Amino acid sequence: MLRGSDCAGLRRRRQRQAGLTLIELIVAFTILLILTTMAIPTARYQVRRQREKELAEDLRDMRASIDKYKDYCDQGKIQSQNPDAYCYPLTLESLVDGVQLSNTISGNGQSGKMRFLRRIPKDPMTGDANWGKRSMQDEPDSNSWGGQNVFDVYSQTMDKASDGTPYSQW
């Protein structure tokens, strides 16, 4: 059986061992800080890679829509909106709004409109749906749109990819 002084000594020892010391807390927080510092660049890299994938996919979709419009116009399935457009769309919005098909009968419930895009996607790099455009008459590396037609689209961000190429040249 324990005497009263032994019990008091045992209680004091347990109280001293009950919590963490300041040194232990500093070491634990330092380890967490180091791990967090290592994780942040990895997370940023993953976000950037996801935006790059979205950009490539959006550009591919819009360019495929422009090409499909051009093919339909060349085949006579749709009428060119302007002779100076060389069978390219005048705006990106016309790909979304749709173009009247040639030689369709609209009396049977068909609208006779062909839509090439569901919506104009937002540029993942700028967060805006305002894309850079080039017309067929513009220089291939031009940053200003002549306005005659939409031959190509590109991102308007000035940022560069991890390989050093500007996103505007994708």
Report yes or no on 126 lying in a domain. Answer: yes
Report yes or no on 136 lying in a domain. Answer: yes
Report yes or no on 98 lying in a domain. Answer: yes
pLDDT beneath 70, residues of the chain: 1-18, 104-111
| Distance in angstroms (rounded) separating the CA atoms of residues 51 and 150 | 24
Report yes or no on 55 lying in a domain. Answer: yes
Tally of domains in the chain: 1
Domain of 65, in residue numbers? 20-158
Residue 105 has a pLDDT of 59
Under 8 Å between Cβ of 64 and 79: no
Report yes or no on 26 lying in a domain. Answer: yes
Report yes or no on 89 lying in a domain. Answer: yes
Residue 109 has a pLDDT of 45
Which run of H or E residues covers position 24? helix 22-74
Write down the pTM of the prediction: 0.73
Using a 10 angstrom Cβ sphere, with 0-12 exposed, 13-18 middle and 19 or more buried, the burial of residue 88 is buried
